[in-house]
Homo-oligomer: A and B are copies of this chain.
Amino acid sequence: MTIENGGNGKGGGRQGHWTMQDIADRAHVSPKTISRVINEEQGVSESTRERVLDIIKEVGYVPHTGARSMRGNRRDCVGLTVSAPMSEVPLTEDLFLRVFSQLYRVFGKQGTFVCFDLNPFASDPTGNYGRGLWEHRYSACVICGPLAEDDEVIHRVHEAGFPYLALSRLDTLPEVSYATVDYVEAARLSTEFLIKRGHSRIGMIQGFKGFHPTVERERGYEAAYKASGLEMDAGLLRPVNFGSEEIPDAVHAILSDPTVTAIIDTSGAEDAESLREGARRAGRTLSEDVELVAWTYTQDAVVSAEACAHVWLPVWEAAVQGISELHRWFHDEIEGPVTILLSPRLYETPGTEEISKARGLFDLT
């Protein structure tokens, strides 16, 4: 049996749509009283409150969030948005699952909605990825993906005062709220390690062409060279898009120069085969005439059995911690911004069993 609409007659076009006025009419009180009951405010007699609650339950009334959002700033939804088109910088399945799990644990479980803006670039090529905030769809958000050097949206988000968390940093906004890994240090560690092993011309496969993480890698690389007194050649750095098929080409290009005797894979693709393929095309063999340092997001994992060392970047761990902090900010338990910067760790390759290549979130068939 369906209960009919309270009969305001105007009905936003939809049947079975109850408003506060309808409930008020049924309960013979004013809308404000309903509002008080719903928001658990003082000043309603126990009997009225119960009567109202009964009616609300009976008809299944739920307040209209849109209308509510026009008055105050209720915090009942957190967003996740991407700062670059998914096609250019795909999320890996591993990172996404961790981020999603953590959003569930700290927000979803307690009834907060979690809203994804998966392609803010669809309608607006410049990608106003903060739109969910401006639209009042959510009142806090996680920003996944790398930030472009000239990103303006992040500045707006920062200034607007919403709780937010970027999973990257940005020079042009050093006070940004972030949870990430010290890529500068990771690059410095990797380069220093190879220099100490006697290499002087070291190639580097970077990730995220055109974005800030590339800058961080360069800075660490440069620092290690500077400290060693050796001369650095910027031509040995090659950005590639994550998840692209560009790795073999990049490795090939770098190793075609016979003076290059070592290479660092910072791409995060965790794709040993592409590295091998690139070396092969250049007529080189990893661990024989080229030494490799590979980056990974899994603790103590082996990306490539030929690598002489690996660097673990606890990106997932940073994201998980960051979301916890964001949650506390969301509930005004702390003030923003969040600043979590985990350190990378270099270790000599502990075994030969390689982990499988990182899978993009939408690689599934």
Contact = CB atoms under 8 A, between A and B. Distances in A.
Contacts of A65: 66, 69, 135-137
Name which of A104, A118, A130, A155 has the most chain B CB atoms within 10 A of its CB: A118
Given A15-B160, A119-B109, A161-B14, A66 B70 contact: yes
A77 B113 contact: no
A66 B113 CA distance: 15
A134 B19 CA distance: 10
Interface stretch (A56-64, A191-199, A211-219, A279-287): A56-64
Interface stretch (A120-128, A181-189, A223-231, A347-355): A120-128
A156 B113 CA distance: 21
Given A14-B161, A70-B12, A156-B16, A113 B111 contact: no
Interface string A100-119: 11001100111101111111
A243 interface: no
A39 interface: no
Contacts of A235: none
Contacts of A77: 115, 137
A93 interface: yes
B160 A14 contact: yes
Contact of A109 (B72, B122, B128, B134): B122
Interface string A57-94: 00011111111111111000100000000100000010
A113 B108 contact: no
Counted per complex, copies of this chain come to 2
A123 B97 contact: no
A122 B113 contact: no
Interface residues of A, number: 61
A66 B117 CA distance: 17
B119 A116 contact: no
B98 A122 contact: no
A280 B361 CA distance: 40
A16 B77 CA distance: 21
Contacts of A60: 128, 130, 134, 153, 156
B70 A105 contact: no
B105 A362 contact: yes
Nearest to A118: B108
B113 A115 contact: yes
A47 interface: no
A119 B108 CA distance: 6
Given A60-B156, A66-B136, A113-B116, A161 B15 contact: yes
A2 interface: yes
B118 A104 contact: yes
Contacts of A71: 12
Interface in A1-36: 2, 12-17
Contacts of A362: 101, 104-105
A63 B123 CA distance: 14
Given A111-B122, A113-B137, 8 more contacts: A12-B73, A14-B161, A66-B136, A67-B70, A86-B109, A97-B97, A104-B118, A110-B122
16 contacts: A12-B71, A14-B73, A14-B160, A62-B128, A64-B69, A64-B136, A66-B68, A66-B135, A70-B70, A77-B115, A100-B361, A101-B364, A104-B362, A111-B119, A111-B120, A114-B115
